[in-house]
A and B are shown apart, each in its own frame.
Chain A
Amino acid sequence: MATHAAVQEARGQAAGDPSIVVEGLRKSFGKNVAVDGLSFTVHPGEIFGLLGPNGAGKSTTLSIMAGLIRPDSGDVKIGGHSVIRETQRAQRLMGVVPQGLAVYEELTAAQNLDYFAKLRGIEKKRRRQEIEEILELVGLSGVAHRKVAQYSGGMKRRLNVGIGLLGRPRVLLLDEPTVGIDPQSRRHILDSVRRLAESGMAVVYTTHYMEEVEYLCSRLAIIDRGRVIAHGPIDEVRALAGDAVVLRLPFPRGVLDEAAKVESLQNTLPMPVEVTSGELRIVLPQGSRQAPAVIEELQRHGVPLDGMRLESPNLETVFLSLTGKALRDGKAAEEGAMA
């Protein structure tokens, strides 16, 4: 994993000019600030992660980058072309995989690809070949002539990614491409993205699964409510958590005085305490040496300690220690558990 990131970084620096430059993006909807001063660059061959919980502003950022939404201020340059002033030139260089399933269910995968390929202006001969390649890459060759409506969720997601690859773009923007699918499809998509980056594509990958960022990306930005809370190479970001570890403890629902207990714990313990989908998480900023005191407190509250463990620093710990809340809300966590 680390080597993968290192190779990517090396590739990025060797390639010179960045493919994507995002500068001071700001966008609000009414009073709600969705993106608040976001800047980053991505080099060819690099996968840049945008990690954040639901509502963090990831999709808004990607829509701005795709030229679909005007930012209030800031600019995005794709291969040197501003998406604001030269929207269509910039768009020609990129492929976009939207968060929703933007495919025609009443058509087949081949028809979907052919349609968008035509609109991208790919000529007939190249179109055929490219569609075949993409079908192969996303693993849908065998079912290319079946209606998308009959596909499983994972197959639809893979087609959704495939359409974004039309026209061999230099820049690929993916918006949570693996939400709610089976592990095989997810694996397939992650590996495809990796291979594409290896062939020199610059990729922006948004997600709320930190494992995916750990697996794919060399650099990332963690955002929350539109604001960047951490930004840089993955090892540096991970180190932001310092010595912090997370104490995790199964906390079954239905315990009578659950809410009261949590509240009381939150009041007595000096560190963030969180309950998500049946799990209690407590950040220990100074590392495991704080554990005994906390465990004592838990016992005093009558919380059963079965299944307790300490987690070493990772992106999730970073997020938790910087914001005091879990990266995934309850619903997203359940989705993750299903996948």
Chain B
Amino acid sequence: MSTFRRVATISFNATLRTYLSGSNLFWIVAFPILLSFLISLWLGSDGDTAVSRLGITYETPRGDQASREFVRVSKVFGVYLIFCFSTLLTRAGNLHDERRRGTLQRTLVAGVPYSEIVAAHLVSLILVGALQAVIVLVGTGLLGTRWLATGWGSVILPVAGTIFAASGIALGIAGLLRNPGIVQLLAGGAPSILALMGGAFFPLDVAPAGVQRLAAVNPMYWAMEALSGGFVYSGWASQAAPMAILFLFGVIGMVIGVQGLRRFEP
């Protein structure tokens, strides 16, 4: 059996099992949609401050009406960011879980090299992330969020960058920590704080200079930048830099993860 086939089998199994648990289904799928819906309700009222008044016209940097949707879309995207990170960080413990259960050892005895198991684990993180993104984006889209107002690229790039970065970071966490309680705590608490500090729910202008500088090492800040680059500014050109940084986050996380997991090799 080829490496490719084995990695595919393992990652498919891990992904399938993720979705077989009722509580996972709730947390990964239903809850994010529900919450995003409530958020978009919340935003129903404000959002468009920019109606013409008193002889003033308001224009977005791109100059089109569609990019006004950014106000609403960005808040829902913020909620999505929280769920993407908390889902993938939770799944980061999966490999240690398998070690505790003994299924990891069993897989090794079946003749699968450890490196392939780690690779499959990463692929499964990305798959779970991608599946969640599709479900949440379609779900909230049907509930009224106009994701595609300014075209596919505005949304797909930031979402893909987020999934890649979050998967890498999750793998990195798995390489550093193996205590399930601590990983769980991190997955529950860190994403909302990162979102608030990354400007997902209110503009970072109100934060002091130190917090604004800290945003540079916050993947969620760059995800928001990639989104605004697509919706408000020049599209591809302004998305390139934040995308590159998100990619870097993912790669650094993966390197740390692979190195760290090697320590735990049976």
Q: Does B213 contact A (CB under 8 A)?
A: no
Given A98-B106, A102-B103, A121-B1, A115 contacting B9 (CB threshold 8 A):
yes
User: Which residue from B6, B103, B108, B111 sits with its C-beta under 8 Å from A104?
Assistant: B103
Complex Cα distance A96/B109, Å? 7
How near does chain A come to B13, taking the closest CB pair, in angstroms? 5
Asked if A116 contacts B17 (CB within 8 A), the reply is no
**How many of chain B's residues have a CB under 8 angstroms from any CB in A?**
22
How near does chain B come to A239, taking the closest CB pair, in angstroms? 37
Complex Cα distance A98/B107, Å? 12
Complex Cα distance A98/B105, Å? 9
* 8 Å CB interface, A89-131 against B: 91-92, 94, 96, 98-104, 106-107, 115-116, 118-121
Given A119-B6, A119-B9, A101 contacting B109 (CB threshold 8 A):
no
Q: Does B137 contact A (CB under 8 A)?
A: no
Q: Does B266 contact A (CB under 8 A)?
A: yes
Complex Cα distance A103/B16, Å? 15
The prevalent SS among residues of B at the interface is: helix
Which chain A residues lie closer than 8 Å to B101 at the CB level?
100-104
Asked if B1 contacts A98 (CB within 8 A), the reply is no
Interface size class of A (residues with CB under 8 A): 20 to 34
Q: Does B102 contact A (CB under 8 A)?
A: yes
Asked if B20 contacts A100 (CB within 8 A), the reply is no
The listed residue with most B CB atoms (<10 A of its CB), out of A99, A115, A163, is A115
The prevalent SS among residues of A at the interface is: loop
How near does chain A come to B102, taking the closest CB pair, in angstroms? 3
Which chain A residues lie closer than 8 Å to B110 at the CB level?
91, 116, 119-120, 166
Stretch of A8-16, A64-72, A216-224, A261-269 contacting B (4+ beta carbons < 8 Å): A64-72
Given A88-B111, A94-B109, A116-B110, A104 contacting B17 (CB threshold 8 A):
yes
The listed residue with most B CB atoms (<10 A of its CB), out of A69, A104, A106, A119, is A119
Q: Does B10 contact A (CB under 8 A)?
A: yes
- Nearest 5 Cβ contacts at the A-B interface: A102-B102, A121-B1, A100-B102, A119-B110, A106-B20
Instruction: Please list the residues of chain B having a beta carbon within 8 angstroms of any beta carbon in chain A.
Output: 1, 6, 9-10, 13, 16-17, 20-21, 101-103, 105-113, 266
